[in-house]
Amino acid sequence: MELGNIEKILEKYFEATTTVAEEKKLREYFAQESVASHLEQYRPMFNYFSIAKEERYTKQVPLKPRVNYYKWLSVAAAVVLTFGIYFGKQYQERKEAEYAYQETKKAFELLAENFGRGTEKVAYLKEFQEAKEKIYNNN
């Protein structure tokens, strides 16, 4: 490939009017050991393009889609929520029952206290009875 031709292609190259085949010629020219000194500055450009094309994707092609954890997360959340509501309700019912028991107990205690007061008073009546019997017996 004579120099004049390369220069012409290079000019077209920067106007982006070259074909793929012409660009290949340029890359081939710049891949040579010796390049005309005034074109030396373009060498890294074309060499870089050739090298850049050598880069490979080395990782394995992943075909198993990753498991969608979010789907299972929502299932777990629903389960927890159901159990939470169920046991929470049970717990609340037990609390309510205990409260009612305490209240009833308090009411009974109040009642028992008042009854006690009643019997104290009635004890005097017994005193009266005894005195009455003493009188009757003496007669």
Partner 1 sequence: MKQTEFLNVVMPFKDKLYRMAKRLLVSREEAEDATQEILLKLWSKNESMGEYKNVEAFAMTMTKNFCLDRLKSKQAGNLKLVHSNYTDETVSLQKQLEAEDSIGWMERIMEELPEQQKMVLQLRDVEQYEFEEICDLLDMKPTAVRVALSRARKTVRDELTKKHSYGIG
Q: Contacts with partner 1 in 74-113 (CB under 8 A)? A: none
User: Is residue 32 involved in binding partner 1 (CB under 8 A)?
Assistant: no
Rounded CA-CA distance 130/35 in Å is 145
Q: Are 9 and 18 in contact, with CB atoms under 8 Å apart? A: yes
Min separation Cβ 34 and partner 1, Å: 14
Q: Quote the tokens at residue 1.
A: 């490939």
Q: Is 31 in the site for partner 1 (CB under 8 A)?
A: no
- List the one residue from 2, 32, 34, 57 that touches partner 1 (CB under 8 A): 57
Does position 25 interact with partner 1 (CB under 8 A)? The reply is no
16 Ramachandran zone, left/alpha/beta (phi>0; psi -120 to 50): left
Residue 37 in the binding site for partner 1 (CB under 8 A): no
